[in-house]
Structure 1
């Protein structure tokens, strides 16, 4: 759970937001297909959408070796989903990798990762941790560990909750993107808190509500949560991406898809 480097740069004024005004018309949408975000083709789209926001690129598989401290209070942010040294998910990842491949280049950092968990400290990690992370990222076992932890912590829970709520592929993606950024803890800006806030305004389809109305309520709650943290205060990943798909009634995330994040345009054909 992390702040994207693009979000932080935008907040600091390095990127100008040039989001167009969106139409207020909501298209009438067809019912969602049975296949959800866990369909392989849809999952690939989800990975690309998140990577567009997190890394300004659709090439999510090129991010295994990414690592930097983006000064968001979470220490190092790294890998395909922004595992953070300060939030525990990086520790879980390196523990999994080490269980599968003892003696790997990152194993020696486990004591330090346990110590810095919950802080932005680099104690015991500098100066060589970024270099060794990049080395580990060339190992297919580490790449698979990143994939598996992404699915366990973020992707699978969001898809499961989405299906339980009766939302289709787009709805499941809005859940996934929220869990990636906010985590699923008990704090006021977590995914479960966002969903609870939305429940105060609308009902999901599983409770008899309209899918479009529910997703609008969920995205409203998401925007509120993002604005509670300065580093998340640019809401274009919702306003000029997810809202665009919703307003077009594209509840299945069917290509072609066109969207903007932090003023940059992206396309999936």
Structure 2
């Protein structure tokens, strides 16, 4: 372990030499008399060097402290030298032009077009899978390999369809930056062919009226809760989405005992945010 007096007393020689401290930290003394702190580390099987700073601007305790912080970054699976370079670059970039700032602006302009639940799902997916990795990056520093790395991590947990949705959202955000005048490219569009394809199973549907009636009769004979059977009957008559049926309120139904009963589904519960009207008697069982 070095001492401050050893560092202070180190004299230049004809060739550069090192004074090692420990944990990969060393002081490199150049022939011109410069004293520079370096940290040697290994990542992905390759030895690399992390530049800390020069003595006496960076004292021995400060050099050790930065080495320890860089080691934490390495233990988290990231390259400390690349991260330091990136953080320096961020300092000279408009904060509004980072990926997270662009994502927030993009989301704010679209969330009113979505249901509250869908909007929450979109932002939650970005917070979980994208922002921790690239949120702090300047939007124009994202490259296809960086984007693909983010998406492959989603794929690795078996969420192939989520990886494709996330790629589309990243692409939308990057295009938003281009439209705003500071984005230059959409690397998320480029990586689409590198993702595993989504394999969808068959989704058979009954298209014959006789088969539909047979299915309904079979369902009616099931030992189900009376409320469930009533809900299914309403579903047969209206073909609405399950969520629209589940959250129906009595005050949405008009003239139930009249010749033209009407169910007025509020726009807030509709996928397209438009009010839906369903009316008229119908009987599929006969």
TM-score, with structure 2 as normaliser: 0.24
More strand by share: 2
If asked which structure has higher relative contact order (CA below 8 Å, sep 6+), I would say: 1
Give the greater-gyration-radius structure (CA): 2
